[in-house]
């Protein structure tokens, strides 16, 4: 088995497909023969680890519950892509992709340092186990006046027994309103977030986090946000948010 794994790694070293910084190894090697299922399994796993393609966390996974999937399909069916070539019969929504690294996907490919580049992770996407914490997907209207998030709260977000921590709720409100404000006048930073908690959210449940643009005044964007049950019958949390447009170079200078 050790010899087999050695051959597998040897094949990887010679494949010329692994990135090392900004360069790649380009060498010719003998053909790698994978005769057994375990060998193929290891290769597939390693290929996944070293893949250039990053995971989009806004796509469904096995942890999503029935209500999460129902709402995802509902908004997807009303997406601009689904309605392309057809006359707009009402609200059209666009799904926003979500990755676990902000720096890599920043406009212009901004990097701060190799250490930060390799270790930095978006706060809401830094837990590997699917379904354990923040499971969510955002859609925004084509006119950008509204943004809606389908949020499923995992077991690691507990605050009061059996219910979601208030800080986790605030995180999702900031994430949704901040994303919405960025669509209106990117880049932005949170200047003020005023939250009123109305009723607790049970762990494992799915809720809607809806952001609405109230007004814009120069560099300031004002939004309101509501966290409700998926049928809208219960108000869990409401908030008012203020975001201010910034020059991203200020952040890079520290």
**Which residues are tagged catalytic?**
174
Whole-number Å distance between alpha carbons of 52 and 39? 22
Nearest to 149 by CA among 183, 126, 120: 183
For 109, the 3-state DSSP assignment is coil
- For 208, the 3-state DSSP assignment is strand
Long-range contacts of 248-251 (CB under 8 A, 24+ apart): 248/106, 248/107, 248/110, 248/187
Enter the DSSP assignment of 85.
T
Nearest to 133 by CA among 167, 174, 177, 161: 167
The closest alpha carbon to 180, from 142, 124, 140, belongs to: 140
In 3D space, the residue among 157, 150, 149, 138 whose CA is nearest the CA of residue 204 turns out to be 157
CA distance 103 to 30: 38
Mapping DSSP to helix (H, G, I), strand (E, B) and coil, where does residue 188 land?
Answer: strand
> In 3-state terms, the chain is what percent helix, strand and coil (to 5)?
30, 30, 40
- Tokens 């666009």: give the residue: 94
């Amino acid at each position: 088995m050790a010899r087999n794994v050695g051959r597998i790694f040897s094949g990887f070293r010679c494949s010329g497909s692994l990135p090392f910084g900004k360069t790649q190894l380009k060498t010719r090697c003998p053909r790698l023969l994978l005769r057994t299922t375990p060998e193929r399994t290891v290769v597939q796993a390693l290929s996944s680890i070293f893949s250039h393609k990053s995971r989009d966390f806004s796509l469904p996974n096995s942890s999503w519950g029935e209500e999460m999937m129902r709402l995802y399909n509902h908004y997807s069916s009303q997406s601009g892509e689904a309605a392309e070539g057809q006359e707009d019969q009402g609200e059209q929504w666009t799904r926003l992709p979500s990755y676990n690294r902000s720096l890599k996907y920043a406009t212009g490919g901004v990097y701060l340092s190799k250490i930060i580049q390799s270790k930095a992770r978006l706060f809401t996407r830094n837990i590997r186990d699917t379904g354990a914490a923040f499971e969510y997907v955002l859609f925004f209207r084509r006119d950008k006046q509204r943004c809606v998030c389908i949020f499923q709260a995992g077991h690691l977000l507990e605050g009061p027994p059996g219910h979601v921590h208030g800080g986790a709720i605030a995180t999702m409100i900031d994430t949704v309103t901040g994303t919405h404000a960025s669509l209106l006048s990117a880049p932005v930073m949170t200047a003020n977030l005023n939250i009123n908690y109305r009723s607790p959210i049970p762990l494992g449940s799915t809720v809607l986090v809806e952001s609405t643009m109230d007004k814009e005044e120069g560099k300031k964007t004002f939004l309101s946000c509501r966290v409700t049950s998926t049928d809208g019958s219960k108000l869990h949390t409401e908030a008012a948010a203020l975001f201010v447009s910034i020059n991203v170079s200020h952040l890079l200078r520290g």
